Amino acid sequence: MIDHRLSEEYADLRKTVEEFAREQVAPVIGDYYEREEFPYPLVEQMGRMGLFGLPFPEEYGGMGGDYFAFCLALEELARVDSSVAITLEAGVGLGIMPIYRNGTEEQKREWLPALCAGEKLVGFGLTEPGGGSDAGATRTTARLDGGEWVINGSKAFITNSGTDITAGVVVTAVTSGAAGDGRKEISSIIVPSGTPGFTVAPKYSKVGWNASDTHELAFDDCRVPEANLLGGRGRGYSQFLRTLDEGRVAIAALGVGLAQGCVDECLRYIREREAFGRTIGSYQAIQFKVADMEARAHTARLAYYHAASKLLHGEPIKKEAAIAKLISSNAAMDNARDATQIFGGYGFMNEFPVGRFYRDAKILEIGEGTSEVQRMLIAREIGATG
């Protein structure tokens, strides 16, 4: 029997995060956003709520939940603000998850408790200035010298990499020349913050996600212990492919939250705003536009629910994750555009959430693999590439 209703446990979690987002995030996030300031108090509250530890076992300081619970939390946060949501998404999906999936027992014991508590953050250093979606074109290198990895190179657009509570980054690097099949050996290495030779550039000036933390990173003969290798030499490529597949489900949940948040804001606005003697919600043109927005959010939600379900059952999700990410990012962008139009001139003002939503939506069609990459993956998975 197919049943898309949430269990009592999932429903309680969704309600708890929804209340937190509405009562704690919504009243203050606009000021953080305009100041381009990281919301440390909100992150601390999310840590106390256990949101950073949602999908991890209690033995490592987690909540003993699963990836779907994590996605539900992301959706509810993004209904109010995407900067807070992406801080959690990157903190868990890109920061903690690679260490949990691939780390030694010693690495997990050392890193996970503080990360699951939200006391510390870890960035995921994959993207490079000249690489973009071509993650296999990694140029950052790491060579062994006297029991240490010597890292040289740079990374771009790395979330949670320069906050006051950032404990380090997981970096992908080429650890040997091309093999017989022409592929580079790529490995993942943990680089603690403050390591000599590891430099965090000033924060980017961004179009959106202005209350989140994003930096370029540089490594100049940066030395870390050989034991900081994550998951075995040469395993980095397969590790980040899995990380990206799972991350696309999480980003899809975030996109659905933004799309639904646009509906929420419009429903409030059209009941109050009057034009030509009537509330604008009484005009069928507005009703149809909001109905289309709700349909997009609903469809995208079903897509990420499906991908998350397959993930929890241990089934392949490459196609489903790509579909969910593609549909949800389209829904977020389309709904943000329509919401801004419904709000008219007020939609162009930063004091209204829909203006922030519009600025935040575009990156969803780019990050964690562009929409073009998602279509490429879908085509490959269904055998449409010839």
Distance CA(152)–CA(334), nearest Å, equals 41
Reported for 35-43, long-range contacts at CB under 8 A and 24+ positions apart, including other chains, are: 36/203, 36/205, 36/206, 36/210, 36/211, 37/211, 38/87, 38/163, 38/211, 38/212, 38/213, 39/83, 39/84, 39/87, 39/211, 40/163, 40/164, 40/165, 42/84, 43/84, 43/87, 43/118, 43/165
Query: Catalytic pick from 37, 106, 368, 372?
Result: 368
Using alpha carbons, select from 116, 155, 123 the residue that is nearest to residue 137. 155
Distance CA(363)–CA(215), nearest Å, equals 15
Q: How many CB atoms lie within 10 A of CB 25?
A: 25
- 89 an active-site residue? no
Residue 161 is classified by DSSP as S
Look at the alpha carbons of 262, 265, 268, 272 in this order and tell me if their dihedral is positive or negative: negative
206: which 2 tokens?
A: 């961004």
Q: Can you tell me whether residue 69 is helix, strand or coil?
A: helix
Distance CA(136)–CA(194), nearest Å, equals 27
Tell me which residues are annotated as active site.
368
